[in-house]
Structure 1
Amino acid sequence: MPPTDTNLVQATQTSLRLIEEIQRRDGATMAELADEFDLARSTIFSHLNTLKQNGYVTKRGEIYHLDFKFLFLGEYTKRRNEAYELAEQYVKEMAGKCDEYVDFCVEQNGRILTVHLAINGIQNPQFTVAEYFHMTNTAQGKAILAHLPRERVEEIIDQWGMPRRTENSITSERRLFDELETIREGGYAVSYQECIEGMRAVAVPILEPDGSLFGTFGISGPKYKMTDEMIETELVELLQDGKSEFEAESKELYTAV
């Protein structure tokens, strides 16, 4: 959903929307992009040519793809903060202990973004790093929402809605806010097949040294393995221990600066 700020530069906004559409389609022709956005092909060409000249897209035959410059920028973003690198270490360590998918996620513009992902300490291609998810139907998202002011949560709902990904997805604001209160009291969030059918997840919030929200550590797995007992004992304990150790170590990073 595009932002509604009246101060946005429309040309830049168009370029960004084209980039996102190319990514969503895993490559797109000029005709497809022109139809999607109801723009003249000359306008689309000007944007794509500018992006191509600057290394952001490449063309193979008639299809435009995102270029490797995004990889460079993404790696820079992950490495610019030592705490992000530290989070990667913890993700791999926890994945080696639980034989499930472990991730580190952050909130970006009202959605959850997967920054690091591993299973048994090894990066796994079955799930995608840099993948976005809605916050209301993921354990990671709800863990973050529980630590945001109610006004910010309402803004996120207004922006992205409460999509029903499965029959278990939360689509009622009242039910969501009741659950966020439970999460605040318990210190962790759970998703019972609310985002992906057959998958459960549990997540804990990670805080900055100043008490602000940094991100989440989460564990996901199939429902037949991740029983209530396993979540409430083994996995919550693993996440809480990782959270405590990470927050203590990241505090030392800030102190050393």
Structure 2
Amino acid sequence: MTQALVDFTIHTTINPRKIGPSKFQTPLLFARGDGGGSNTILLYIDCMSPGHHEVPGVVCGTYYPYSSRRQRFVIEDRIPHMATGSSENRTVQATETAFDIVELLQEQDGAKLHEIATELDLADSTVYHHLNTLIGRRYVVREGDVYYPGLEFLQVGGRARERRRAYRLSESFVQSLAEETGEQVQFIVEENGYGYHVYTTTGEHATSIDTRPGKRIYLHANATGKAIMAFYERERVEEIIDSVGLPALTEHTITDREELFEELETVRERGYAYNWEEHVEGYCGVGVPVRLEREVLGALALGGPVERVRNEQSRERLTQRVRETVNEMELELKFDTP
């Protein structure tokens, strides 16, 4: 996809449905086109205020507000040589709509047909047909007049979690470390620029936060994410930042690109990362990358309340145990046959 710097002006306040943290302001661009001289692209944004904005993008063009409810703008590309209409970049509107519905049902823990239609600025009939299709494929269930995500997603997610040997192997190491330390432990991997909780276990003394399997997180605001990115090529990290952004989740979150790269250099030198209330106020953690040869498979993390984890003696002990556990896991991955 051709890269360019897109600048545009928003004349009215956009107040969309929240998908990420309220301070998240980085656009994600999804290309569409017919391969001709014009091209239509959807620009997804969250909470952009009036004013002039410059963002990494794929084309220069004219931007038209599509909806005040959804973070969606239609872009008309008026630069023929920058058209991105190849088949590999095309998306299917019906598929996007179906996933918009599913994600909305997840975020709102269920919704009625008209609520979905209103939130997504769609006709009731359109939503009705999509819901019927999803119900027929077992991905949505209806209880009374409320629709919910179906348990069929568990089958898909469960298979995804078992896809790689490192994912399967991590479960026992996560559990044993949580039992030993009494803290919360999780194994996290990077996919499409985000971190995903593959396995998580809460020890008996842990301060529990939302670390359910499948939870999606921002890499720059977590010890695991920084541990993973520290061993990526700089170009890959730049791609992640350009795609996902550096939203501030707390006042301690690193939101400056160069500051993040300095932090990643420190992590790379010492071999592990810390999270000092960067994701959740009052919660800290340590993350260690799990690697096989030069490949980063994920990261093992341990977290707890700031007064326990930041205490020097406790911090050193917990960091050492996470590093030792990762070493054991890497050895098993290297020498044991699948």
TM over 0.5: yes
| DSSP-derived class of the 1:196 partner | coil
Question: After the TM superposition, which residues 229-248 of structure 1 pair with which residues of structure 2 at under 5 Å, given as runs?
Answer: 229-230=312-313, 232-248=315-331
Give the aligned residue type for 2:321. Answer: L
Question: After the TM superposition, which residues 106-125 of structure 1 pair with which residues of structure 2 at under 5 Å, given as runs?
Answer: 106-120=189-203
Give the aligned residue type for 2:286. Answer: V
Name 2:255's counterpart in structure 1.
Answer: 171
1:131-167 CA-to-partner distances (Å, cap 9, x unmatched) read 1111111111111111222222222222222111111
Q: TM-score, normalised by structure 1?
A: 0.91
> How much has 1:108 moved relative to structure 2?
1.9
Name 1:54's counterpart in structure 2.
Answer: 137
> Which shows bigger deviation, 84-93 or 144-153?
144-153
User: Do the aligned partners of residues 237 and 198 (structure 1) sit closer, same or farther apart at CA in structure 2, a change above 3 Å counting?
Assistant: same
Contact 1:118–1:124 (8 Å) recurs in 2 = no
> Which shows bigger deviation, 43-52 or 146-155?
146-155
Match of 2:277 among 180, 193, 198: 193
User: In 2, distance between residues paired with 1:177 and 1:218?
Assistant: 20
User: In 2, distance between residues paired with 1:72 and 1:58?
Assistant: 15
Match of 1:139 among 220, 223, 227: 223
1:77-99 CA-to-partner distances (Å, cap 9, x unmatched) read 22333332210000011111211
Give the aligned residue type for 1:135. Answer: L
User: In 2, distance between residues paired with 1:235 and 1:48?
Assistant: 48
User: In 2, distance between residues paired with 1:230 and 1:122?
Assistant: 17
User: Do the aligned partners of residues 93 and 67 (structure 1) sit closer, same or farther apart at CA in structure 2, a change above 3 Å counting?
Assistant: same
Paired residues in the alignment total 254
Root-mean-square deviation (Å): 2.2
User: In 2, distance between residues paired with 1:184 and 1:157?
Assistant: 18
Pair 1:16 & 2:99 matched = yes
1:34-55 CA-to-partner distances (Å, cap 9, x unmatched) read 2222122222122111111010
| DSSP-derived class of the 2:148 partner | strand
The percent of aligned pairs where both chains have the same amino acid is 36
Question: After the TM superposition, which residues 155-170 of structure 1 pair with which residues of structure 2 at under 5 Å, given as runs?
Answer: 155-170=239-254
Structure with higher Rg: it is: 2
User: Do the aligned partners of residues 13 and 75 (structure 1) sit closer, same or farther apart at CA in structure 2, a change above 3 Å counting?
Assistant: same
> How much has 1:179 moved relative to structure 2?
0.4
Name 2:291's counterpart in structure 1.
Answer: 207
User: In 2, distance between residues paired with 1:129 and 1:98?
Assistant: 20
Contact 1:107–1:215 (8 Å) recurs in 2 = yes
Question: After the TM superposition, which residues 73-88 of structure 1 pair with which residues of structure 2 at under 5 Å, given as runs?
Answer: 73-88=156-171
1:13-38 CA-to-partner distances (Å, cap 9, x unmatched) read 22122211211111122222222221
Q: TM-score, normalised by structure 2?
A: 0.70
> 5+ residue gaps in structure 2?
1-26, 33-89
> 5+ residue gaps in structure 1?
none
Give the aligned residue type for 1:113. Answer: Y
| DSSP-derived class of the 1:224 partner | helix
Which structure has the highest helix share of the two?
A: 1
